[in-house]
C-alpha cells in the first residue's frame, strides 16, 4: 500500500511539473510571437500574403491550365471521321486509366511503310476537334495519324495532371509498339501548345523509339508562362516548388537528340513566339529545323501557306537521313549552319528578340529570307 501511494505521488508531482513547464513554454512562445510581430510585422504580413498566393495557385493550377470542357459538351461528344477508315481505340495506362484514341491509317500505295504521327493536342477540347487538321496531314503528308485524348479529356477517364499526361503518353507509345501494322522505325511525335510539352517529355525519355519530334507554338515551362501572363511582382519570384504543374521543356529538350522541327506562328497572342526560338536554340539535335509563319496564330498556324510543305520536307528529310558520319561532317561545316530547305514563297523579316542568358547562340539583328524553314 505504501509503495502504491509513493508511486501515485511521484506521478502526480511529475504531471504537475510537466504542466508547469508546458505553461511556461506557451507563455514564452506567445511573448516571442508578440515581440516578433511588433518588430517585424510588415515582413510577417508580406510573408503570409506570399504563402497565401502560393497556396491558392498551387491548389487551383489545374483549373487554370486544363480546359477539357471547353467548348461545351467536349466531354460528352467526340466527333469521329466520316468517309475514311479509322479505329476508335481504348487503352489502359500503367495506373489503370482508360484512354480514348483515334487511329487514321493512310491507305495509299506505300501504306505499309508510312510514318506514324502520334498527335498530342492542346489544353482544351478533344481529339474530334482536331480532325480537320489531322485529315489534311493524312492527305498532304501520307502518314498514319494516332490522335490522343489525355485523361480527363473527351471520352478518356480520370483527371488531368502533369504526371498523368506523362503516363498517358508512355501508354500510347507502348500501344504503337504492339501494332504489327505500324512501322516501328518511323514514329513521329507531334505536339501543339500543351501537347508540345508532352511530346518533348516523351521524346526525352524514349529517344531510342522515336524517329523525330515536331512541336508547334509550345512553351519553355509553366513557370515561364506564369511570369509572362501574370507579370505582377509575386509571380516573378515564386520558387519552383510552388508550381503543381511544371512541364520543364527547356530542360528536357536537352535530351532530345533526334531530328526536331519547331513550328512557330509569329502572331501567337498566347505563347510568346520567342519561346519557340529558345527551344530551337536549346535543342542539341544535329537535324533541327525552325519553321516560321508570320501570320500564324496560336491555334491556326496550320492554316498558313507553306505549313504542310514544311512538315512534308522535314519528314522526307528524316526518312532519308544520312549516316551519322555524314551528319557529323555536315554539322562541322560552317557553311551549312543556316540553310533554307523550304521553297515557300513567303517573305518575312526575322527580328532578334530578347533572349535569356542561358542561350549561347545568337541570330543576326535582322535577317530577311524568302523561306519559312532554317537549319
Cα atoms found within 13 Å of the Cα of residue 57, Cβ hemisphere only: 22
Residue 143's pLDDT band, with cuts at 50, 70 and 90, is very high
Specify whether 193 is catalytic: yes
**pLDDT at residue 366, as a whole number:** 27
Q: Which of 298, 300, 321, 331 is catalytic?
A: 298
**Does pTM top 0.85 for this prediction?**
no
Q: Which of 149, 156, 268, 283 is catalytic?
A: 268
CA distance 274 to 43: 37
Residue 355 has pLDDT above 80, yes or no: no
> For residue range 153-190, what is the model confidence (pLDDT) as tens digits?
999 999 999 999 999 999 999 999 999 999 999 999 99
**pLDDT at residue 231, as a whole number:** 72
Beta-sheet strands, E only, within the chain: 87-92, 98-104, 116-120, 144-149, 187-192, 212-216, 260-265, 288-293, 348-351, 366-369, 373-374
**Residue 233 cell numbers, joined:** 511582382
Residue 361's pLDDT band, with cuts at 50, 70 and 90, is very low
**pLDDT at residue 358, as a whole number:** 30
Q: Which of 156, 169, 193, 264 is catalytic?
A: 193
Nearest to 62 by CA among 151, 128, 157: 151
Topology (CATH level 3) of domain 87-320+333-356+367-374 = Rossmann fold (3.40.50)
Specify whether 298 is catalytic: yes
Amino acid at each position: 500500500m505504501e509503495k502504491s501511494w509513493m508511486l501515485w505521488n511521484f506521478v502526480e508531482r511529475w504531471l504537475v511539473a510537466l504542466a508547469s513547464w508546458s505553461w511556461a513554454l506557451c507563455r514564452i512562445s506567445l511573448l516571442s510571437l508578440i515581440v516578433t510581430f511588433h518588430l517585424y510585422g510588415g515582413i510577417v504580413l508580406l510573408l503570409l500574403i506570399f504563402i497565401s498566393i502560393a497556396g491558392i495557385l498551387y491548389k487551383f493550377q489545374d483549373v487554370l491550365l486544363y480546359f477539357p470542357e471547353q467548348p461545351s459538351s467536349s466531354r460528352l461528344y467526340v466527333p469521329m471521321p466520316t468517309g475514311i477508315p479509322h479505329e476508335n481505340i481504348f487503352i489502359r495506362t500503367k495506373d489503370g486509366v482508360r484512354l480514348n484514341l483515334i487511329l487514321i491509317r493512310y491507305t495509299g500505295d506505300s501504306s505499309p511503310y508510312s510514318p506514324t504521327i502520334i498527335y498530342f493536342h492542346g489544353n482544351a477540347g478533344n481529339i474530334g476537334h482536331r480532325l480537320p487538321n489531322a485529315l489534311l496531314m493524312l492527305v498532304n503528308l501520307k502518314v498514319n495519324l494516332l490522335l490522343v485524348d489525355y485523361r480527363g479529356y473527351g471520352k478518356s477517364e480520370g483527371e488531368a495532371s502533369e504526371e498523368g499526361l506523362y503516363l498517358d503518353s508512355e501508354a500510347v507509345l507502348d500501344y504503337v509498339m504492339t501494332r504489327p501494322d505500324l512501322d516501328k522505325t518511323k514514329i513521329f511525335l507531334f505536339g501543339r501548345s500543351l501537347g508540345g510539352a508532352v511530346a518533348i517529355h516523351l521524346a526525352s525519355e524514349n529517344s531510342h523509339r522515336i524517329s523525330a519530334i515536331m512541336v508547334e507554338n509550345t512553351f519553355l515551362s509553366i513557370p515561364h508562362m506564369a511570369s509572362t501572363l501574370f507579370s505582377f511582382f509575386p509571380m516573378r519570384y515564386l520558387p519552383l516548388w510552388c508550381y503543381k504543374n511544371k512541364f520543364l521543356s527547356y530542360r528536357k529538350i536537352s535530351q532530345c537528340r533526334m531530328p526536331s522541327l519547331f513550328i512557330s506562328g509569329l502572331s501567337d497572342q498566347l505563347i510568346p513566339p520567342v519561346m519557340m526560338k529558345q527551344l530551337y536554340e536549346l535543342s542539341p539535335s544535329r537535324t533541327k529545323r525552325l519553321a516560321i509563319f508570320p501570320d500564324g496564330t496560336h491555334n491556326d498556324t496550320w492554316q498558313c501557306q507553306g505549313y504542310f510543305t514544311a512538315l512534308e520536307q522535314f519528314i522526307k528529310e528524316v526518312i532519308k537521313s544520312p549516316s551519322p558520319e555524314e551528319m557529323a561532317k555536315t554539322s562541322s561545316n560552317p557553311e551549312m549552319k543556316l540553310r533554307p530547305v523550304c521553297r515557300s514563297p513567303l517573305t518575312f523579316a526575322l527580328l532578334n528578340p530578347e533572349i535569356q542568358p542561358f542561350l549561347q547562340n545568337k541570330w543576326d539583328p535582322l535577317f530577311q529570307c524568302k523561306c519559312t524553314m532554317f537549319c
